[in-house]
DNA sequence: AAGAATCCCAACCGCAAGTTG
DNA sequence: GCAACTTGCGGTTGGGATTCT
């Protein structure tokens, strides 16, 4: 299938359209329809290629084009559809009457993508970004390395404790985010597996071997039906010792079966606690609605987004404080 | 006030699927 | 079945508009 020479043809005008050209194109299409786009320019008296004419008509001159800012409802629809369809702009445009694929694409690239990134989401996966978390093991190692390099006398009890707590906190936050991501993945019908296994956690030094053995059941989360029809992802998790330093004083324990918060139910026996992960069950993270699943969504494919009404991100204050611990 | 930086969007480019002879 | 042609799509860009310094 060869390429059409189209606009490469000599003498054809490129660039912005004049009002005269717009008028000629509109008049012709209103009278005759566009027919063959390739033949149209000549018939309409335009010194343009058919491709340029088609683009001008579909993106600008078409009478049913909706102009002006995108409404919040349209924004939500785009977010929802993009999470399902990806960069299928024409498919998304079919759900937004009067909007062109080009317009939606521009709106995505100039507004929505940036918005998602600012909010801590990967604009392609619509999940919390974990790129900086990839550096966490290195940060942990760095913190430990500093300890060695500085060769400080670690009989200084408080400094030592702070250092250890920071490292432990980093490990726990990393683990928490992995669990959170796993919950998001497990509740997403489009995903079937969790990428980070307990073995990997062990490999990066996140958990001790004893913790690993009790955490092995994490690789097989279970989805339970929650009280309000909201699915809950569950793992059998061990008690993990939470550091008690000032670093955590304002934070609630991350994994603690004895926590009285309703989302953490201590119904496991034999020293095991059942951790219930609903989408808002992890206290240190800042929750906010990524999409209000709403009314604009009517297709079956759109329903697939239904489980991700709220996704967590790291709060800025926590992130800053966390990073400052390693600075 | 002016130059620089950034934003925004219309339009172009190239690829690939669909159509036709 | 094949090649030429047409159409549609998604990524990218040029330059005007706007905001910042």
Q: Which domain holds residue A239?
A: 133-326
Q: What is the secondary structure of A137-195 as a DSSP string?
A: HHHHHHHHHHHHHHT--TT-HHHHHHHHHHHHHHHHHHHHHHHHHHHHHHH-TT----S
Asked if residue A127 keeps its beta carbon closer than 7 A to nucleic acid strand B, the reply is no
Nearest to A263 by CA among A232, A239, A242: A232
Mean of all residue pLDDT scores within chain A = 57
Asked if residue A292 keeps its beta carbon closer than 7 A to nucleic acid strand C, the reply is no
Residues making up chain A, counted from first to last: 327
Q: What pLDDT score was predicted for residue A167?
A: 55
Q: What pTM was computed for the model?
A: 0.51
pLDDT tens figures, A15-72: 899 999 999 999 999 888 888 898 899 899 999 999 999 999 999 998 888 888 899 9
Instruction: Looking at chain A, list the stretches that DSSP marks H as alpha helix, in order from N- to C-terminal side.
Output: 19-32, 40-44, 50-56, 72-85, 89-93, 101-107, 113-118, 136-150, 157-187, 198-203, 209-215, 300-303, 316-326
Asked whether the predicted pLDDT for residue A132 surpasses 50, the reply is yes
Residues in A 93-112 whose C-beta is less than 7 A from nucleic strand B are 102-103, 105-107, 109-111
**Is A123 inside any structural domain?**
no
| Tally of domains in chain A | 3
Asked if residue A67 keeps its beta carbon closer than 7 A to nucleic acid strand B, the reply is no
First-to-last alpha carbon distance for chain A, in angstroms, is 57
Asked whether the predicted pLDDT for residue A129 surpasses 60, the reply is yes
Asked whether the predicted pLDDT for residue A106 surpasses 50, the reply is yes
Per the CB < 8 A criterion, the answer to whether A252 and A259 are in contact is: yes
Residues in A 41-60 whose C-beta is less than 7 A from nucleic strand C are 50-51, 54
Going by pLDDT thresholds of 50, 70 and 90, the confidence category of residue A13 is confident
Nearest to A222 by CA among A211, A236, A238, A201: A236
**Is A247 inside any structural domain?**
yes
- Among protein residues, the one whose C-alpha sits closest to the C1' atom of B13 is A7
Q: Are A55 and A83 in the same domain?
A: no
Nucleotides of strand B lying closer than 7 angstroms to a protein CB? 7-19
Going by pLDDT thresholds of 50, 70 and 90, the confidence category of residue A104 is very high
Going by pLDDT thresholds of 50, 70 and 90, the confidence category of residue A136 is low
Per the CB < 8 A criterion, the answer to whether A179 and A235 are in contact is: yes
- Most confident residue range from A148-162, A182-196, A277-291: A148-162
- The mean-pLDDT minimum among A147-151, A166-170, A222-226 falls in A222-226
- Most confident residue range from A2-16, A47-61, A111-125: A47-61
Nucleotides of strand C lying closer than 7 angstroms to a protein CB? 3-12
pLDDT tens figures, A264-273: 333 333 333 3
Q: Are A286 and A310 in the same domain?
A: yes
**Is A125 inside any structural domain?**
no
Q: Are A251 and A299 in the same domain?
A: yes
Give the CATH number, domain containing residue A86. 1.10.10.60
CB atoms within 10 A of CB A101: 18
Residue predicted with more confidence, A113 or A185: A113
Nearest to A47 by CA among A15, A94, A86: A15
Q: Which residues contact A282 (CB under 8 A, 6 or more apart)?
A: A176, A179, A180, A254, A312
Q: With pLDDT > 70 as the criterion, what percentage of chain A qualifies?
A: 36
Q: Which residues contact A182 (CB under 8 A, 6 or more apart)?
A: A194, A196, A218, A221, A233
Q: Are A27 and A139 in the same domain?
A: no
Residue predicted with more confidence, A251 or A185: A185
Asked if residue A3 keeps its beta carbon closer than 7 A to nucleic acid strand B, the reply is yes
Residue predicted with more confidence, A161 or A20: A20
**Is A4 inside any structural domain?**
no
**Is A230 inside any structural domain?**
yes
Q: Are A41 and A158 in the same domain?
A: no
What value does the mean pLDDT take over residues A296-313?
A: 33
State, as a whole number of angstroms, the distance between the CA of A109 and the C1' of B6. Answer: 14
Residues in A 14-33 whose C-beta is less than 7 A from nucleic strand B are 14-17
What value does the mean pLDDT take over residues A143-165?
A: 54
Q: Are A22 and A164 in the same domain?
A: no
Asked whether the predicted pLDDT for residue A7 surpasses 90, the reply is no
d(CA A247, CA A97): 52
What value does the mean pLDDT take over residues A200-225?
A: 36
Q: Are A185 and A225 in the same domain?
A: yes
Q: Are A145 and A208 in the same domain?
A: yes
Asked if residue A213 keeps its beta carbon closer than 7 A to nucleic acid strand C, the reply is no
**Is A1 inside any structural domain?**
no
**Is A30 inside any structural domain?**
yes
Q: Are A13 and A97 in the same domain?
A: no
Asked if residue A52 keeps its beta carbon closer than 7 A to nucleic acid strand B, the reply is yes
Per the CB < 8 A criterion, the answer to whether A321 and A246 are in contact is: no
Asked whether the predicted pLDDT for residue A143 surpasses 70, the reply is no
Q: Are A236 and A91 in the same domain?
A: no
Asked whether the predicted pLDDT for residue A144 surpasses 80, the reply is no
Per the CB < 8 A criterion, the answer to whether A134 and A181 are in contact is: no
Q: What pLDDT score was predicted for residue A120?
A: 79
**Is A16 inside any structural domain?**
yes
State, as a whole number of angstroms, the distance between the CA of A62 and the C1' of B10. Answer: 15
Q: Are A300 and A186 in the same domain?
A: yes
Residue pointed to by tokens 């219930």 = A276
Q: Are A268 and A302 in the same domain?
A: yes
């Amino acid at each position: 299938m060869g390429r059409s020479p189209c606009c490469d043809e000599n003498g054809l005008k490129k660039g912005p359209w004049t009002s005269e050209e717009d008028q000629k194109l509109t008049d012709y299409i209103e009278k005759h329809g566009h027919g063959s786009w390739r033949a149209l320019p000549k018939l309409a008296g335009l010194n343009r290629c058919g491709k340029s004419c088609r683009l001008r008509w579909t993106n600008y001159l078409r009478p049913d084009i909706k102009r002006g800012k995108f409404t919040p409802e349209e924004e939500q629809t785009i977010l929802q559809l993009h999470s399902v369809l990806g960069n299928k702009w024409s498919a998304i445009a079919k759900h937004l009457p009067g909007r062109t694929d080009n317009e939606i694409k521009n709106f995505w690239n100039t507004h929505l993508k940036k918005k998602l990134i600012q909010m801590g989401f990967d604009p392609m996966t619509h999940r919390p970004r974990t790129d900086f978390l990839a550096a966490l093991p290195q940060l942990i190692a760095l913190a430990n390395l500093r300890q060695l390099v500085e060769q400080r006398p670690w009989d200084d009890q408080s400094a030592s404790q702070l250092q250890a707590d920071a490292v432990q906190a980093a490990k726990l936050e990393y683990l928490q985010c992995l669990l959170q991501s796993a919950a998001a993945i497990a509740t997403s019908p489009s995903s079937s597996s969790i990428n980070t296994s307990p073995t990997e956690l062990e490999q990066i030094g996140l958990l001790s071997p004893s913790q690993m053995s009790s955490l092995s059941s994490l690789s097989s989360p279970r989805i339970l039906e929650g009280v309000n029809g909201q699915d809950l992802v569950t793992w059998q998790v061990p008690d993990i010792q939470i550091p008690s330093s000032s670093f955590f004083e304002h934070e609630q324990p991350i994994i603690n079966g004895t926590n009285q918060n309703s989302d953490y139910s201590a119904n496991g026996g034999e020293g095991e606690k059942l951790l219930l992960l609903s989408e808002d069950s992890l206290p240190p993270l800042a929750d906010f609605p990524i999409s209000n699943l709403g009314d604009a969504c009517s297709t079956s494919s759109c329903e697939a987004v239904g489980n991700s009404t709220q996704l967590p991100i790291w709060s800025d204050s926590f992130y800053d404080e966390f990073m400052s611990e390693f600075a």
